[in-house]
Amino acid sequence: MDLNIAEELLLLAHTESDGRRLIDVTRLDLALGGALLAELAVRGRVELAGKQVAVLDRSPLGDEELDAALTMIAERGRAQKPEWWVNKLKSAKLRERLLGRLAAQGVLGEEHVKVLGLFPAVRYPERDGGYEREVRQRVQSALDGSDPDARISVLIAIMHACSLDRKAFPGADKKRVKEISQGEWAGQAVAKIISAVNAAVIAAMAGAAVAGASG
């Protein structure tokens, strides 16, 4: 079973034992929206044309979340910037669908609990740790100096944008993380859109913080 980048991000964003989030849902949801857009770029379906996202290929990928995102972008009446699409694609429902899919596939468990004995919540502890271990090994190898492929570079860049890298890989060299996040590791076209997505996630988080402070 192949996981998409958003699903890999989710595994790293939750503790293995009890499925608690390492970052808040605002940052996580924005990161997931960015991960979908970034993966479409890595797979040759979209590119950054000037400052806007353009569709290169409408062929489905066989992943319902990625295909839905691609259709949404392709059917949009006019081109939009990456930050617009990050905000459009992110949602709590996307996060819940991805977590539910991982649970249905046996990667995660699904436990209904009550926080403080009152508030219902769902936790997603790991059931099959092999998937996260494999992702961690690829990320760690890149952080240790090996040349990352496009998918791992995307994952590291988005983790950096939402500050998950500090939680999931606390010992990582900050210069190396920044180098991967900004490097020309996947060809010029993909590198441009991932850089734009990275900036869009950061900008969206800043906007959410301002809105929360003024509300």
For the chain, give every domain's residue range.
5-205
111-152 pLDDT, tens digit each: 887 777 777 888 889 999 999 999 999 999 999 999 988 899
Please check whether residue 151 is in contact with residue 42, taking contact to mean a CB–CB distance below 8 angstroms: yes
| pLDDT at site 205 | 72
Please check whether residue 80 is in contact with residue 64, taking contact to mean a CB–CB distance below 8 angstroms: no
Would you state the structure tokens that stand for residue 214, as one six-digit string? 């003024």
* pTM summary value: 0.84
Can you spell out the DSSP letters for 41-96? HHTTSEEEETTEEEES-----S-HHHHHHHHHHHH-SS---HHHHHHHH--HHHHH
| pLDDT at site 213 | 56
Find the mean pLDDT for residues 34-51. Answer: 89
Would you state the structure tokens that stand for residue 205, as one six-digit string? 């988080």
| pLDDT at site 46 | 92
| pLDDT at site 195 | 65
Please determine, for residue 185, whether its predicted confidence score (pLDDT) is greater than 50.
no
Find the mean pLDDT for residues 18-32. Answer: 89
Comparison of pLDDT for 207 and 174, the residue scoring more: 174
| pLDDT at site 210 | 58
Report in angstroms the alpha-carbon separations of 200 from 84, 160, 186.
Answer: 8, 12, 19
Please determine, for residue 26, whether its predicted confidence score (pLDDT) is greater than 90.
no
CATH 1.10.3630.10 fits 5-205, yes or no: yes
DSSP state of 101: H
Find the mean pLDDT for residues 67-86. Answer: 91
